[in-house]
Structure 1
């Protein structure tokens, strides 16, 4: 497999298959937001696999604003994504650093919310997310970045659960760029079952 693989229909289909078989479940679930759902999406089995991460990094990189200096993601789901996208960018000759947004400030030392090579204030950063449901996690990361003096215009996610998150993100003046929507993942799951 070419490490500089550009996403195409074949790689997109392969990634969708991986998500439908390894990240998606049907049943009765309570989500992090407290809402009940018949659908559960945990992208970590895909984003922490070599093949899944390679496919994700290339597809996400194509959706990063060309003027972005860094990508940032909320720990834990965002950790592999920002690292892989930054590496994929370097492999294409583009400088793009990775930042991790903590869920709580560090309890010692500098009490930092952000980890990684901090770019100059006023630069553009794109937020990466695994799953968007209500948008709260993504918007919390955006707010931390804005408070630190950065500019954020968009959030790139693997799966949009289509439960109001995109609307909340738009209310915040941001664009949500999704690789897949829950309807598409659910449909593929049924086809493969």
Structure 2
């Protein structure tokens, strides 16, 4: 994978300037609108292809976090043949009342897929909920890591390693 070219393309498609409030409540002057690359099938595929070598060998399910991680996880699933799991922010209150759709999670090794990580809050919540259901979650792979967490990432305190296709620094250099 040509990381520099991918960073340049994502930056040109997704970097917006202005005033934006991110999930954590922080106000930022630039925003990476990940839906802009997720809505472009060729670019989405390139991001997913870059994630495939980052998957732990013992991954049994790729868990896409609602909403941005779902299209990426679907593409990773398509490329690898691993089943996908779609992880909600909250369990449904009707029908199956599940937090995660696509299969049973108890006793499985799940690698989470996320689009952008800044503080890791959504991944933290999903990890805790999936672990309560009996899953093993040790790795999250994200398209863009904005956390600045370095090698350990923002989720090391709960035993989750963050692996990223690109970091904010990669995009800033592009």
User: Same fold, TM exceeding 0.5?
Assistant: yes
**RMSD value, Cα:** 1.7
Aligned pairs for 1:1-193 within 5 A: 8-9=1-2, 12-90=3-81, 96-119=82-105, 121-162=106-147, 167-188=153-174
Greater Rg by CA: 1
Contact in 2 for aligned 1:135/1:164 (Cα 8 Å)? no
Post-superposition shift, 1:110? Answer: 2.3
What is the TM-score when the length of structure 2 is the normalising length? 0.91
Unpaired runs of 5+ residues, structure 2, are none
Post-superposition shift, 1:43? Answer: 1.2
Unpaired runs of 5+ residues, structure 1, are 1-7, 91-95, 189-193
Post-superposition shift, 1:164? Answer: 5.5
Cα-to-partner distance string for 1:93-116 (whole Å, 9 max, x where unaligned): xxx110111112112122110111
Structure 1 Cα separation of the partners of residues 162 and 72 of structure 2: 16
Structure 2 Cα separation of the partners of residues 60 and 27 of structure 1: 29
